[in-house]
Amino acid sequence: MAGELPLPDFLASVGKTELKPGGSYATGALLRMLNLNGKHHALVVGPAAGNTALFVSMTTGATTEALVKEEKDKVTDSDPALKRRSTARIGKVEQMPFADARFDAAMIEATLAYQPAAQQVATLNELHRVLKPGASVGIHELAWRQPPTPEIEQRLTDIWQGHVHPQVVRGWWDLLEAAGFSGVENELAVVSYFTRKGMTADEGEQAAEIFHNAFETPDRMERFSRAYHEFTENRRYYGVILATARKS
């Protein structure tokens, strides 16, 4: 049943390929904030990390490694030079298969907000471990624009149908600083899952087909409509944080 899937998985089931809350715009903005270049070796974590790592290598010249869950999540490119610059490893975010101080930068998207509090701490500690001293971390995560009421928290839980634990901006700062990062800087973006502009930017010509698929059956239509109305009507609560910090 569509209602049993966590919201990102439900969106994937109707054909959506961009499953990060701020969409392709937020990924691009975070890359600009990290200011990567060809001298950097960067870690990429999140949905479709293999594709994102390729994009990062193509647009910045940095070498990248994606952390993926399964062999099928690995992505390669036909360009031999790009294949050498962008690779992938299978592993868990709380216990990464990388040596200490391996990376010049790390980019984690749509991961921390879907973890319970203890797991968020473990993941940020791992990111700190695999980064070199002075290296940068960037996060792209669901955030509360203002502290939610208990009713709004429950509505998000009901809509999401899975683990979802966004923080207010100060909460994300506190977690980064507690993990040993400093110099936090952030921007806020909109949740683009259901905006017309976001859907078009992320999915292009496939946007119309996604809407068609979403309304193909009554249970899909009900799930999609409820999520759309929740994020639209309560947008003063829902946002996306793009934050960078340095390993102290």
CATH code for the domain of 171: 3.40.50.150
Low-confidence ranges of the chain (pLDDT < 70): 1-3, 77-79
Burial of 73 (0-12, 13-18, 19+ CB in 10 A): middle
Residue 181 belongs to a domain: yes
Q: Which domain holds residue 47?
A: 19-145+162-199+235-247
pLDDT at 82: 72
Residue 207 belongs to a domain: no
pLDDT at 1: 46
pLDDT at 118: 95
Residue 4 belongs to a domain: no
Residue 210 belongs to a domain: no
Token pair for 166: 């966004």
Three-state SS for the chain is CHHHCCHHHHHHHCCCCCCCCCHHHHHHHHHHHHCCCCCCEEEEECCCHHHHHHHHHHHHCCEEEEEECCHHHCCCCCCHHHHHHEEEEECECCECCCCCCCEEEEEEECCHHHCCHHHHHHHHHHHHHHEEEEEEEEEEEEEECCCCCHHHHHHHHHHHCCCCCCEEHHHHHHHHHHCCEEEEEEEEECCCCCCHHHHHHHHHHHHHHHHHHHCCCHHHHHHHHHHHHHHHHCCCCEEEEEEEEEEC
pLDDT at 222: 95
Residue 178 belongs to a domain: yes
Residues 119-177 have pLDDT tens digits of 999 999 999 999 999 999 999 999 999 999 999 999 999 999 999 999 999 999 999 99
Residue 212 belongs to a domain: no
Total domain count, the chain: 1
Residue 155 belongs to a domain: no
Token pair for 172: 């994300």
Residue 152 belongs to a domain: no
